Amino acid sequence: MRAFIAEFIGVFALVFAGIGAIHVTEGGELVAVALAHGLAISLMILAVGHASGGHFNPAVTFAMLITGNIKLVPAVGYWVSQLLGGLAAAALLAGLYGGEAVLKGTPAVGLGFSAPQGLVAEVVLTFFLVLVIFATALHQKLPVAAFAIGLTIAMDILAGGAISGAAMNPARALGPAVVGGGWADHWIYWVGPLAGAAIAAVFYTQIYMVSDEEEAKLPVDLTPDQPAS
């Protein structure tokens, strides 16, 4: 239950901060919007990530599931908690700012871009995000992992926000869509993140983590300073 609550809080903070920044800046300050999303995730990982691993994203949980880092039953609990967190944040924002603000903060394909372009953007941006998560948090366990992940989210929004809204997270899209009614091309925000996360997880696990495990099994070369015993 501690883990489920943590996942709820993490997504709640992401949606609340993200849509709030979009509303306050009227969508005209991309750097502020990117930082709001990135900081929300970084700080929530530091605050409650110890309880759940700090997924805060159904696509990340899916990546962990297919690589054996979480079992199916808790993964389902994570997904439910994440989606409820996004829905609760969107509902609160609608009460504070109105439904129109939530609608404007719902990820959508940008003007001048097509749905396929939006899909590709979500796949690529989520690939970057999950790659950094696996490298810094899961594999190397770096102390700066929380900030590396948050900076990746900010980078992705700066790079792809104009194309797809750079959601990279089905929970970031579903809650606002339910409350604000913005369902245009909604499928992109499920297919793209899940595909990108799966590709990144399998890629990193097979190329880097498996290689390290194989190297660890190799015999150590004996030198004069390492006599056989």
pLDDT at site 220 = 54
The domain ranges of the chain are 2-214
CATH superfamily of 2-214: Glycerol uptake facilitator protein. (1.20.1080.10)
Q: Does 197 have pLDDT greater than 60?
A: yes
Task: Residue 34: name the closest of 134, 127, 124, 129 by CA.
Answer: 129
pLDDT at site 218 = 55
What is the token pair recorded at 68? 């054996």
Q: Quote the CA–CA distance of 11 and 82 in Å, as a whole number.
A: 6
Cα atoms found within 13 Å of the Cα of residue 86, Cβ hemisphere only: 25
- Per residue in 88-98, pLDDT (tens digit) is 999 999 999 99
- Per residue in 166-181, pLDDT (tens digit) is 999 999 999 999 999 9
Could you give the C-alpha distances from 46 to 16, 25, 99, 149, in angstroms and in order?
18, 26, 31, 11
pTM of the model: 0.92
